[in-house]
Each structure stands twice: as C-alpha cells, then as structure tokens.
Structure 1
C-alpha cells in the first residue's frame, strides 16, 4: 500500500483519477466508538468503525470495482460495462468507469423487487437499468437470472465487459490489496475483524489477508437471519453456491435480523458515525459474538498483549437510500413526531413577496382616480376594466364597508376574530382546504379569473396571501393587500368615507359573486 498524499490534495489533469485511487489517498478513517455506543467497553473491548463510506464512491464496493475494472477494461475496445447489482457495486463501477477509463455506458441488471429509492439513485448516477423477475438475490449460476444474462452478453461482444462480481477473484483480492493493509497499518493490535457476507468478496479478501498477516485475529462473518433481509448481506443458505474461498476466510458466523441492523445503524448515525443498515448489521453481529463469549467466560481469550480486545467492523455504505425502510422496520417511538403534521398536506403552492402589495396599489393598478376628488376619496374611485377585487370577509362586515366594485366571497373559516393562519396551523389548514375547494375547478379559473387582474383582501392580509397562492397556482393573476383592511384603516382609507360607501354600495358594486358561480 503506497501512500504519499498526507495533505489529501489532488492536483493536475489526473486529479480525479488520483482522488479515486486508494494508492493516492490517506487510509480511510478508523474511528473508535465512544462508551455509550459500546456495551462491552467495561469488559476491555475497544470497537472501531472502518469508514469505507469515506471513499469518493461512498461505499465498500469501490475497492472491488476499482480492482476488477483495472484488470479487465481493454483500452480502445471496451465501451460498455454490464453488471448484475442491487446498487453499490454497479454505482461504484459507473463512477470509476467514467473517471478512470472514460467509459460512460454502464448498465445495471437488477431485481424487480429493488426499492424505488435505489432505482432512482442509480438513474441519478446515469446508469441504464434492466429489471429481472425471480428471487431478489438469484444464485450466480441460475440460467434464468440476470447474472448469467450479463455474462452471455459480454461473451457475445468484445466491446461489452461484465466484471461479474460473483466470480471475479479481483473482487475479493482488492481487500488484500487495499483494505486489509490499511486496517493493519492503522491498528496492528487488532484482535477481531467483523465483516458482513453478501457476495463474500469482502470477507474472503480480509479474512485471507489477516490469516496470512496476523493469524491470531478472529474473523467473524455475519449473515442475515433466515427469511429476513438486510440490504447487501445474504443468509447463510445463499452462501452455499458462492465459489469464492470464503469458508477458509472465516472463523465464526453470526446471523442478524433486520430490525436490529436498522436500529443500530440509527444509533450510530445519531452518535456521529453516519452509515447504512449493513453497518449496523455488522456491529450487531459483533455484539452477539461478544455477548456469547462473555456468558461462556471466554471473552478474555480474545485480548491482546495490552489486555484489551481491539475489534474492527466495516461501515459499508450510507443510510440515505434506505430512509423509508428505517420507518418500516423500526417502531415509531424511535422518531420524534412531526409537529403540525397536518400542514404537510395543505398549503402546497409557492409564495412570492411581489404578490403582497401595499395599499397604494389601489391607485396605481386597480382603480382610476378622478381629477377632482370629493372629501371622501374612496367614493370617487372607479374599478378599472379587467380588474377585480375579491373580499374574503364575512357578508356582514362586507355590508358595513367595502371597496368599490369588490366581490364578496366569504369564507366559512374566517371572521374578524379568527387567528392569523400563519400563527395557527389549524386555521391555515382549514382556510387552505376551503380555498382549494372553492377554486378547484380549473375551467372556472381559466374562463373567468384568468381574464381579470385579481386583488384579494381580508381582515389582516394573511388569509388573502394564502388565497393568492392558491389562485396563482391555478393560473390566475392575483395579488393581495399586505395588512388587509387593517392596513387600509392605518392609511386613512377607512373612516368617514365608509359611511358614504354604505349608502353608495348598491350603485358602485357592479360585479357580484356571479363571476365565480355562474358556470357551476
């Protein structure tokens, strides 16, 4: 293992290639768990997370992908990579193929039972996807599955490469080349190595390396409990067809269920070790083995010359693509409830500060002001053509005072005593639902409202702001008065003139709610 880049900086035209190449990087971090994450700390057990997630590809499969492509790509001939993979391996391949070999066509064959989040993730990284039915983890030599389909395609074309992680020895040898030497250099005191078993490449490589380098290390392999599933690892029964020499690379097998895996992963993430469920899976397997030895009284046998038991487990990938599964696998008390959760289904449209207008907009955009004004300013102004003022207050308040030519559309969820919607989530929810229902018929909006420039007014401006958001989402040109009628009052527009407007209301209100209901 060559490592001269202590500053962890990558220069020049090959900077990205160096960034991905383990020979040009400092070792990936090895982090000891604090006592609150290590229930065996008092027994002299020290536990370290090997952060394979810190490679640029963010997962343990980057090492095998690098090694397999390096030995298999034929420059000038290989232009397509095909691999059967549920995610991490083929995503790593796609990045490494681009960066290291200039190959942009990477195709993933995978189970039709793969989660939508993982499918989207692979699409995000530019992979071409083909789904296959049958078992989610097919046997490598089953002619009916996608693994053998990828092999046949590569045999039929010199330009197609199928690295085939299930049979390619450069898969597991990558960990002899890089991962094992990194761990041993970082902690030569290591006594226990814990690795999850999927294709078994990681276990085979690391187990083989430590068998040769430090035979005293206990090599613990972790499989999924029968009938259960954790992303990545396999059950012990599914290990039988795997032809890598994994049996000679492992000393002890533990089986772990998915709830424990996700729960420990969650604890690690919240404790500062950000990692996915297979990492919690590995740690749980280590805990189980340590617990059994403690009960049997054989735990001290693992200790090294310093009296401590130094254990390393691998953190294999990140949690983000599995977020939905955490909520499926774990009890709700693992997560704080969302306050005001009802708002997640309402108030769904955008806002824009430019849609909230000051009262001056009355005289610059919506009303014509005569050259000669009477003492009562608002009794003289006339609503401009193609403009409409919507008043959301109660009918009683509208009858007492309103803007000339305005239309009253009273909301059941609004009166002069109603809390502001942005200070009371229940009010916002009720008002948005009522407004959404009121304006749900887009044909009405298109035929009537989109032909007018709308100004929406309420008591204090906030309900009108919500209405403007709904109307804008449905294609209407709508604004609201910031501060509502209270702002008009503060600007001196609501006072003595209101008495005259009560008398003039019937003659100046030319438009009615018929604008909105005539087509219903």
Structure 2
C-alpha cells in the first residue's frame, strides 16, 4: 500500500484528485481509546477507533464510492449518476464524481422519511433529490421502491450511471483494497474487528480481507435491535435480501439499540473522538460482545500471542446532521440547561455600536449650537429630529431635554436594574418596546425624523433603538442616558444655569463651529 506522502501535501492541477485518492494519502488515523473510555482495559483489552471520517468526504462510504465510480464511469459518455442512498454514499459519490470524473449531475433517490437535516445536507452538496414513499430500506427488486427506479433510469440511457451500492461488488471490495490493508499495517496484532451492518459492504470487505490474511481475527458485525433505528445500519431481519457474501465475512452478530448508540457517540465526542451514532453503535456492539465473553470466561480465547485483545471498531460517521436526534433520543439529562433561555425569544434585532452616541451628539446632530452659557435652556431641536424620553412621567416632568417627547415604560423606573445585567428586565422591556414602537401611530409620528432615544442609564434606550431600526426608523441612543449628562455636569443638583456657566468653555471647545452632517 503506497504511502509516500508523509507530509500530507497535495499540489498541482490534479491536487484534489490526489487528495481524495487513498493511495495518495497517509492511512486514516487509528486511535486507541484511553483507559477511562475503555471499561475492559484491566481485562487486557485495547480498543482502537479507525477514523474513517477523516477521509476528505468525512464518511466511511467515500472509499466504496471511489471504487465503484472508478470502474463504471465511461469517460465522455457518463453524464449523470443516480443512486438510492440515505446520505453518505451519494454525498461521497457527488464529490468524487466532480473531483475525479468532472461529472456535476448526481441525483439522490431516497426515502420520504429522511430527516430534514439530511435533506438539507444533500442539497448543500449540490444533489438533485427525488423522494420515494414506502419502506425507508426497500427491497432491492421491489418495483415500487427507489432502488429499482434508479436501476431503470440507468437502463434507459447510456448517459446515466446507477452504481447501485446494494449489488455492486466494488462496494465491499474497496475495503479489501484500502481499509483492511490500512488497519493491518497500523495494527498487525489485531484480534477483533467490529463494523456495522447496513448494505454490509464494510463488514463484507473487511471480514473477507482478514479471513484471508489473518483468519484468527474475530469478525463482529453489528445490527440494530428489532424495531429500533440507528442511521445507517439495519436490523438482522433486513439483512436477508442483501446479496453481498456477508455471512461468510462475519463470525458474531450483536444487536444494539439506538439509545446506547447515541449515548456512547455523545461520550466519545465530548472526549475528543468526534463521531456519529453509527460509530457509537459499533463500539456498543463491541462492548456487548466483550461483556458476554467476560461473563462466560472466554475473553482469553480472542487474545493475541501477547495475551492482549486488540479490538478495532470503525468510526464511520459524524454527529452534526443528527444533533436534533441526540436531544430527542437521550433527553435533557444528558445536556446542560441553557441559562436565561427565555432570551432566545426576545431581543431579536441587530445592534450597531454606531447607533449608541455620546452626549456630544446633542450639540452636533440634534440641537442648534447654544447661544449663551446657559446651555440647555437655549437648545433648540434641529428640523427633522426627535428626542424620545423613556423615563417615568414624574421624572420627565422634573427635568428633560428641550423639545423631547415622553413615552414612559411600565417596565422602567429610576430603580430598575440595568437592562443587560438582568435577563428578566431585558425580556420585559423588549416585549413592551416591541409592542409599543411597532404601533402604526408611533411609526407614523416618527416618519423620516432622526430619533434620539434617552433613558436613565442608556441600556433601555439602546434596546429601543434596535427595535426602531428594525422598523426602518433612523434612531440612535444616548450612551449612559441622563446619568451621563449628569456626570458631565449638564444637569444636576446645582441647577442648569450654574452648571452651564461652569462648563461653558469645555463645551464650546467640544462643539464644532459647523454642525456635522449625518452620514447616510
């Protein structure tokens, strides 16, 4: 098995072809599970994950797809590829068809019971999808099913190829060509091999390879428990119509349920071996077989000359397209609760730092330049501007910016906690602002005016600005609110007139002689 590309670099015009070709790559990783992930470590068992997901196509079906297309695509004639597939095989075919053969039209026939996440994943990779009713894993020769429909399409046109993973011997032979030799080169001491049974291509190929090369290797096939479902593998009953010589390639069958598959996959992911439910399924099958032998006292029978059991299971899928199923199958106890989850339904509009303005904006954008040292008593709103004050009516009556309009909020007083430090306050204020500021009468009154929103400390006004901007109103908020005006001496206990005299020179220096025009 060639392995001259130790640096894992792919160059030149055919770089992608080399990148996808197993003969141009180092072997896919083989990773031993540490003791804390291996409950049989002290029983002399070493367990290794063969990371098939590290192929560029990220799944175990990449090598079968490569092998099937290599032998069946007719250059210059094949224009379309059609395959009945639940996902991984046809996605791999789509990428490999483009990279290796320049074919851009790959069509997926699949069950109408396929998850929305999988359908979107296939659309993401550019597949043309047709759905079929009936069983999700139809009999190969059932005229009503998608497998037979794909076969008919290819029969009717020389430009259409149906590789047919269910009957194509190049499927399982790919694992004799690549996967088996990789595993043996990486771990000559292997004594147990474990893989799931779906189309059975993986187990048939690997089982056949090790039967010929090292017949003492125990070959463990894993099927789904009756009446249960794990993405990819089948129940033992559904193996009956599979035509590959899988029976000669398997020594032992274990049946695994979906809960254990998803749960073990989740544990592996959290510990750094990122893999999907079918990978957890394989490992659980291995665990079950080891446990039975431990109880029977027959573990030593499958140990190697060194007295150690070296067991390899295939990590064949990734978890991402099944995230929703992890939650629905495993329940809340497997996941940390989201704190402040109520915020997922509020505060939904975007923010922008440029919408949050310092107090100087009063004199540059919203008010004409003061005509005397008594600053705030001599401010006049510019045309097409508006100041919205969200404080309580009594506080607004006590003092407010000239020409401002009061829209008091029920959820806001001078003693209300700051909005972004209290999720319950943010929720209440956003819901009130969303309801209030979306009213047609409010929006009509604001029209095309440039709005400045003010509150006590600035945060509520910032939320209001986000709501107004979502409604198409040009709005800004005053950073720090009235407290910022007080901190800068623009109003306070000494009264406006005294404060204005005291800070006149500072503000005159800060206010430009020519008003700054607003950017669009």
State the TM-score, normalized to the length of structure 2.
Answer: 0.94
Task: State the secondary structure of the residue aligned to 2:53.
Answer: helix
Task: State the secondary structure of the residue aligned to 2:253.
Answer: strand
Task: State the secondary structure of the residue aligned to 1:98.
Answer: helix
State how far apart, in whole Å, the 2-side matches of 1:247 and 1:440 are. 68
State how far apart, in whole Å, the 1-side matches of 2:471 and 2:200 are. 55
Alignment match, 1:417: 415
Answer yes or no: is the 8 Å Cα contact 1:431–1:463 preserved in 2: yes
Task: State the secondary structure of the residue aligned to 2:464.
Answer: helix
1:321 aligns with 2:289: no
State how far apart, in whole Å, the 1-side matches of 2:135 and 2:388 are. 60
Alignment match, 1:102: 102
* Superposed CA offset, 1:278-329 (max 9, x none): 0000000000001111111111100110000000000001111111100011
Task: State the secondary structure of the residue aligned to 2:90.
Answer: helix
* Superposed CA offset, 1:466-485 (max 9, x none): 11111111111100001100
Answer yes or no: is the 8 Å Cα contact 2:374–2:497 preserved in 1: no
Matches within 5 A, 1:176-191: 176-191=176-191
Alignment match, 1:447: 444
Task: State the secondary structure of the residue aligned to 2:438.
Answer: coil
Deviates more, 1:157-166 or 1:50-59: 157-166
Task: State the secondary structure of the residue aligned to 2:383.
Answer: coil
Task: State the secondary structure of the residue aligned to 1:448.
Answer: helix
* Superposed CA offset, 1:243-273 (max 9, x none): 1111111111100000000000011111111
Task: State the secondary structure of the residue aligned to 1:50.
Answer: strand
Alignment match, 1:334: 334
1:363 aligns with 2:360: no
Task: State the secondary structure of the residue aligned to 1:121.
Answer: helix
Answer yes or no: is the 8 Å Cα contact 1:191–1:217 preserved in 2: yes
Q: Cα distance 1:129–1:421, how it changes in 2: closer, same or farther (>3 A)?
A: same
* Superposed CA offset, 1:134-156 (max 9, x none): 11111221110111111111111
What displacement does 1:339 show? 1.3
Answer yes or no: is the 8 Å Cα contact 2:230–2:261 preserved in 1: yes
State how far apart, in whole Å, the 1-side matches of 2:31 and 2:488 are. 64
Q: Cα distance 1:445–1:110, how it changes in 2: closer, same or farther (>3 A)?
A: farther
State how far apart, in whole Å, the 1-side matches of 2:317 and 2:234 are. 16
What displacement does 1:413 show? 1.1
Which residue, 464, 471, 475 being the options, matches 1:474?
A: 471
Task: State the secondary structure of the residue aligned to 1:12.
Answer: coil
State how far apart, in whole Å, the 2-side matches of 1:272 and 1:297 are. 32
State how far apart, in whole Å, the 2-side matches of 1:156 and 1:365 are. 73
Task: State the secondary structure of the residue aligned to 1:148.
Answer: helix
Deviates more, 1:59-68 or 1:76-85: 76-85
| CA RMSD of superposed structures (Å) | 1.4
* Superposed CA offset, 1:193-234 (max 9, x none): 000000111011111111101100111000001111000001
State how far apart, in whole Å, the 2-side matches of 1:406 and 1:24 are. 72
State how far apart, in whole Å, the 2-side matches of 1:70 and 1:444 are. 68
Alignment match, 2:383: 385
* Superposed CA offset, 1:343-371 (max 9, x none): 1111111110000011111111111235x
Alignment match, 1:25: 25
Matches within 5 A, 1:271-350: 271-350=271-350
What displacement does 1:498 show? 4.6
State how far apart, in whole Å, the 2-side matches of 1:59 and 1:167 are. 20
Alignment match, 1:226: 226
Deviates more, 1:60-69 or 1:118-127: 118-127
Alignment match, 1:15: 15
Task: State the secondary structure of the residue aligned to 1:151.
Answer: helix
Task: State the secondary structure of the residue aligned to 1:244.
Answer: coil
State how far apart, in whole Å, the 2-side matches of 1:76 and 1:447 are. 64
Matches within 5 A, 1:384-403: 384-403=382-401
Matches within 5 A, 1:490-505: 490-495=487-492, 498=496
Alignment match, 1:512: none
What displacement does 1:492 show? 2.1
Alignment match, 2:73: 73
Alignment match, 1:245: 245
Gaps of 5+ in 1: 501-520
State how far apart, in whole Å, the 2-side matches of 1:314 and 1:432 are. 50
State how far apart, in whole Å, the 2-side matches of 1:470 and 1:133 are. 46
Alignment match, 1:117: 117
What displacement does 1:376 show? 2.4
State the TM-score, normalized to the length of structure 1.
Answer: 0.94
